[in-house]
Chain A
Amino acid sequence: MIEAINVSKSFNGVTVLDKVNFSVEKGEIVGFLGCNGAGKTTLMRILTTYLKPTVGCAKIAGYDVNKSPGHIKRIIGYLPENPPLYENMNVFDYLRFCAELKDVERKNVLPSIDRVLAECNLREVKSRNIGILSKGYKQRVGIAQAIIHQPQLLILDEPTNGLDPIQVEQVRSLIKSLEDRTTVILSTHILSEIEQLAKRVLIIKKGKIITDNSMDELLRSASSQGKPSLEKVFIQANQDNE
């Protein structure tokens, strides 16, 4: 589904991503882990075609991000770190706007809105202005816009950022429910979230992938040092690469 080959990105001479190589199979849920400024968001933005790599290329479903951004935009759903919402629109109008922009066929627009309203538990607020919704609802509206066109690849940047534990659980269940039909890339600081959702983890540090392994394998390697946890793996990986 995704193939990144020597992807590098520099801003004004500062290297943010340095020869990143990885691939993701269809249907995988992959977690990006890394400290602030590690390059996770930049990598995600390259996969969404929002940024172009300075060197290298990334392919999504066989399409090159440099050559075929239009094709890629049709098959991805993207939730940036701050949900891209128009606060003075109501939820229904916003989702209709998103569906129309994302090439959902005219006859499928209303059924698609209905589906995401149900999947994201938004039915009760569909007529409310987004600006007056709680942070949890806003985040779910952000996820709803990302999945309204049933993308093949879903890219979620900090999807549970700032949510309370109940809302976090709801968002996790939602992501888990997409597993069968969608490849998911998610980045988060909450390690337990990756632990519960992802089958594979990429740890990024200073623009380089320092660990790329399955969750089971990572936890197995950590179990030799006591109770296995992703937190230990993350700290160990960062220390090893100092």
Chain B
Amino acid sequence: MSKIFTIAKKELAQYFKSPAAYIILIISCAVFNVFFYMIINENREATLREVFQLMEFMFIFIVPLLTMRVFSEEKMNGTLEFLLTTPTTVWFIVLGKYLGAILFYFVMISVSLVYYLILARFGAPDAAEFISGIIGIMLEGALFISIGLLASSLTRHQIIAAIITYVVLFFLYFCLSFTQYTAGTLESVFRHMSTLSHMENFSQGLIRLSDFVYYFSGISICLWLTHIRLTRE
């Protein structure tokens, strides 16, 4: 179990040793700040509902950049062979890397806590709605990262890993719009697959079991497939 933390610690350190990670952090923080100001200035409401929805959209672009190197780089440098020949299970490697990426993601979304404090200073935001929104954005990121990890395990080329992740994330985000052209089972499949409909519930303060099942099943499937891919490596 401690090996998961060893790998996660190394993974997190790798992020903070890379200039790309700082650029991503600074740009995402700057964009969130601008939109936070614009949304609050426009709506004049003490709520982060729309900020969370915007964050969700932005993470479609950001997460593939974070996850593309996770396994692709190890394959390219030959360090995956090293990891797989140490007395560490494939599950520990997958979970360690996943945890490292998740922790970096949490650093990115921690900025929303500052937004809440600003709103609390000047208004009366709904704490329950904020907590629900934070849980939603955490689960959303956790799902996106698991998809990115799977894509990264499929290829030794980081760009290809990023493109695969973009395609899947865009599909999951926009498939809600397919519902207007479909009906019956297919329509409900698209509706259930869409991250948009699940995140919307969280950002409105609705915590539903079905949304948890969606995210946790998605994460489990992706991590399991990543494990299978690495075992076959």
A interface vs B, CB < 8 Å?
45, 48-50, 70, 73-74, 76, 78, 80, 82, 84-89, 93, 97-98, 100-103, 145
Contact = CB atoms under 8 A, between A and B. Distances in A.
A76 B84 CA distance: 12
Interface in B61-90: 77-79, 81-89
A103 B82 CA distance: 15
B86 A49 contact: no
A70 B87 contact: yes
6 contacts: A73-B88, A80-B82, A82-B77, A82-B78, A100-B3, A102-B86
B81 A98 contact: no
A73 B78 contact: no
Contacts of B83: 84, 101
8 shortest A-B CB distances, which residue pairs? A84-B82, A73-B87, A101-B86, A100-B6, A84-B79, A74-B87, A48-B85, A88-B17
Contacts of B229: none
A100 B2 contact: yes
A44 B68 CA distance: 30
A85 B86 contact: no
Contacts of A98: 86
A101 B79 CA distance: 13
A101 B89 CA distance: 10
Interface of B: 2-3, 6-7, 10, 13-14, 17-18, 77-79, 81-89
A49 B10 CA distance: 24
Contact of A88 (B3, B14, B86): B14
A22 B88 CA distance: 28
Contacts of B88: 73, 101
Given A49-B85, A86-B79, A102-B87, 17 more contacts: A50-B84, A70-B89, A73-B88, A74-B87, A80-B78, A80-B81, A80-B82, A82-B77, A84-B79, A86-B77, A97-B6, A97-B10, A100-B6, A101-B7, A101-B83, A101-B87, A103-B87
Contacts of B81: 45, 50, 80, 84
Contacts of B77: 82, 84-87
B84 to A, nearest CB: 6
Nearest to B73: A86
Contact of B3 (A70, A80, A84, A101): A101
Contact of B86 (A45, A73, A89): A73
